[in-house]
Structure 1
């Protein structure tokens, strides 16, 4: 099948949507499909990218570019798209247009929502009603149960399936590194406000003040908040036990997880939590916010712990640092039990969504 993945954001820009679209398209190509990526993100990929990329649009800001309907239709027609998979966050003009146009022209279309709409439901509901999105002949999906609930609300009850992100669990399960010194707490995220790195950092400061030398912490990731976070760490002094690494390649993150004892995901509006899933696959117990997408693969008290507030997060982490036996027990479980979000499951779920989208079209034709 010729699948056109339409996404406003894509490589070389780095982010969760960009990497998931690349990985999904790559897995589909390995399974015998012919995926392409259509994006408004400018730039180029060095070497010979395995998945063809068509970059569209004119003037714009960042990865967002103005694209006329007729130009987008022409691209989908020239690429002989047999299915369109539109990847939407909230503000995703290219993906929204692709979903509207492809569905109207009889192309089986799936819309995957990759973000949490809870805080913007009134805006998204207004936009969806203005566009008549709930009546489009497309199949709606979101990356987690929590994310799907908000999309369903914004679309006035339209059915929304769960089409999760994928992972190769075996790639993250490496032999545990020898432990030397106090336990290590890890978190990996983009250093932006919605990921909440600063509340996490100040929670770690509070833990350190209450229990100096009891743990070490490593925060991985880059983003606009990183300079401010580094200033906070510098002000706290060299004995805080907290290190900010900036961005790291995947193999370095795997090595870090292999030597860590606990993973913390502080965002309460986390639509999925791929970094937390990678840590879970590496065997780490995970502490995350309840009501986030992490709850789809972390069962409270089994794979980790789900907390309802920053205060509860601090108290939970404090209790776990005092209970190394409990941490080790959950780590043994996580290393032995593989989460059911590996790529075979995701590819099967995607195929089911494409089939459902095809059934919505009475007479499928290409754009």
Structure 2
């Protein structure tokens, strides 16, 4: 089977799609499938990959969409499956490419239009935003109905879409992987001062500004903020203006052993997002034995067992949530059920095979 993975980001960039695409490419290749990856990037220096990576430079949206579409015509015209990981940045080029042979599958682990709404200052959760019936739904419907199948990462998002869109293509849920660390700390003793951690993209819906402001009211704790994104300068300026530079530090994106080390050195991961559909970071922290405080607006379902979910909308919510998490401090994840990438890949290939028989 020839599978073309179509993504907006790829390692070393951080984010769910980057992680997902690389691990799927590994598993598909090990199983004997031919894999090609198409991604946007300013510059990508990747060596020793066993699959081809085709890079589309960033530029004005319309121009890069057409450049991406031209590359898809070259790479995917004879493919069996094109698996896209973004509804707009990848979905629109996929429509423009007008590929006839491959089955077109779209995986949704986020929501482009809702994220743009939060970038403009909106504060509604994903579910609340869809209930208000925005005009963007018509654009979303147009994109979704150009693919053969939609893969959701959670039943949570699938239910929201089923209510919001009158007609959806065939769809199913394939949950994210959960790989257990070899160095789980089953019985952690909290540090003094208490060490809080945020890890993720610096974008509006992650609600990091409220987390930073909450630190003014949490005097016996430090906060490490790991990641990067368009709000980087804004978050650093806020930290300085609130005189918190002595208790808040910023760290660039980490992967592999460096990420495990970060988890091991902290007491609580805090994800105060307006909505988290399927946060890989929460699963990775849980797998490493690090307690997780997560917004109650999430779609992890049973995978969130052992995490603490709470309303984390504003500063006082976050202060109260962290206090609650500290009183419930438990870090024994020894009974976790692993969900390896090989299982995710197997479920995905089975879906592809079913689609090709239709």
Change (3 A) 1:237 1:312: closer
CA distance in 2: counterparts of 1:231 and 1:128, whole angstroms: 35
> What is the aligned partner in structure 2 of residue 112 from structure 1?
107
Cα displacement (A) at 1:343: 1.4
> What is the aligned partner in structure 1 of residue 322 from structure 2?
317
List gaps (5 residues or longer) in structure 2: 115-125
Cα displacement (A) at 1:266: 0.9
Pairing partner for 1:98 from 82, 94, 97: 94
Change (3 A) 1:184 1:42: closer
Pairing partner for 1:356 from 325, 349, 354: 354
Change (3 A) 1:174 1:357: farther
When the two chains are superposed, the root-mean-square deviation of aligned CA atoms in Å is: 3.2
Change (3 A) 1:190 1:298: same
Q: What are the superposed Cα offsets for residues 320-365 of structure 1, whole Å, 9 maximum, x if unpaired?
A: 32x2xx313xx11x2x1224543133123212321332243xxxxx
Pairing partner for 1:233 from 220, 224, 239: 239
Cα displacement (A) at 1:126: 0.8
Pairing partner for 1:304 from 294, 305, 308: 308
Change (3 A) 1:38 1:61: same
The residue matched to 2:205 in structure 1 has which SS?
A: helix
Q: What are the superposed Cα offsets for residues 93-149 of structure 1, whole Å, 9 maximum, x if unpaired?
A: x434436867x7242332101313534763443124446x43x56111122222223
Change (3 A) 1:219 1:55: closer
CA distance in 1: counterparts of 2:258 and 2:62, whole angstroms: 28
> What is the aligned partner in structure 2 of residue 160 from structure 1?
171
The residue matched to 2:320 in structure 1 has which SS?
A: helix
Q: What are the superposed Cα offsets for residues 16-44 of structure 1, whole Å, 9 maximum, x if unpaired?
A: 31232112111221233221112344533
TM-score where L is the length of structure 2: 0.81
Structure 1 contact 60–66 (Cα < 8 Å) conserved: no
> What is the aligned partner in structure 2 of residue 55 from structure 1?
55
> What is the aligned partner in structure 2 of residue 202 from structure 1?
213
Say whether 1:254 aligns with 2:260: yes
CA distance in 2: counterparts of 1:190 and 1:51, whole angstroms: 27
List gaps (5 residues or longer) in structure 1: 361-367
Cα displacement (A) at 1:221: 1.5
Structure 2 contact 154–174 (Cα < 8 Å) conserved: yes
Matches of residues 120-131 of structure 1 in structure 2 within 5 Å? 122-130=134-142
The residue matched to 1:81 in structure 2 has which SS?
A: coil
> What is the aligned partner in structure 2 of residue 364 from structure 1?
none
CA distance in 1: counterparts of 2:68 and 2:20, whole angstroms: 26
> What is the aligned partner in structure 2 of residue 149 from structure 1?
159
TM-score where L is the length of structure 1: 0.79
Matches of residues 275-290 of structure 1 in structure 2 within 5 Å? 275-290=281-296
- Paired residues in the alignment total 339
Change (3 A) 1:287 1:71: closer
User: Who wins on radius of gyration, i.e. which is larger?
Assistant: 1
CA distance in 2: counterparts of 1:140 and 1:9, whole angstroms: 19
CA distance in 1: counterparts of 2:150 and 2:198, whole angstroms: 31
> What is the aligned partner in structure 1 of residue 276 from structure 2?
270
Structure 2 contact 76–102 (Cα < 8 Å) conserved: no
